[in-house]
Structure 1
Amino acid sequence: MKSNKLYNILLSPVISEKSTLVGENHNQTIFKVHRDANKSQIKSAVELLFKVKVDSVQVLNSKGKKKRYGKTVGRRDHSKKAYICLADGEEINFGGGSA
């Protein structure tokens, strides 16, 4: 796949209490990804962008919640998350350099 399409697959890292625990205990990182992306595309994108070795990718699809705005019933967008398991000794650092 062309590298310019790989840049559009990863949308954002998921920063939460659960993602921090998973990262510390299982050497995994969680990303929000494009809904049409598959596991091999996600793996290629992470390896290209962060220069790390990826062991495995697990994908989680979640439905958008229904929300009401007065009489109008709407829905939030569906989303997709990817749990990226990194090889031993590999690490993705989202913070900048040390101060």
Structure 2
Amino acid sequence: MHVIMRPIVTEKATWASGHFNRFAFEVSKIASKTQIKNAVEAMYKVRVLGVNTQTRRIRNRSYAYGLVIGKTWKRAIVKIHPDDKIELF
């Protein structure tokens, strides 16, 4: 199972990474906080201090041909040790 899908690069996420050492990733919907922590530590060789997760949903859209249901996805905000850096952002 692939735990980390992609990094989330938005203005808010980039600001948080520079000021608070917090990085945002889109992760698998069934991944636990422990799995996310282990995946980030293995992939980027950093020490993770904490993981916060959110399950998000894109709103439904109505078109002429019917209703399109928005997909759900999971976001993980990972706090890393102040001495470590992720050069992704």
TM-score, length of structure 2 as denominator length: 0.93
Secondary structure in 1 matching 2:78:
strand
Structure 1 counterpart of 2:63, one-letter code: Y
Alpha-carbon shift at residue 76 of structure 1 (Å): 2.1
1:65 corresponding residue in structure 2: 59
1:41 corresponding residue in structure 2: 35
1:52 corresponding residue in structure 2: 46
2:86 corresponding residue in structure 1: 92
Q: Provide the C-alpha distance between the structure 1 equivalents of 2:15 and 2:39, rounded to a whole number of angstroms.
A: 23
- Give every structure 1 segment of 4 or more consecutive aligned residues whose post-TM-superposition deviation is greater than 6 Å: none
For structure 2, the residue ranges without an aligned partner over 5 or more in a row are none
Q: Provide the C-alpha distance between the structure 2 equivalents of 1:25 and 1:64, rounded to a whole number of angstroms.
A: 28
Secondary structure in 1 matching 2:67:
strand
For structure 1, the residue ranges without an aligned partner over 5 or more in a row are none
Alpha-carbon shift at residue 64 of structure 1 (Å): 2.7
Structure 1 counterpart of 2:56, one-letter code: S
1:17 corresponding residue in structure 2: 11
- What is the CA RMSD across the aligned residues, in angstroms? 1.2
- Per-residue deviation, residues 47-89 of structure 1 (Å, max 9, x unmatched): 0111110000000111231012214001121010000000111
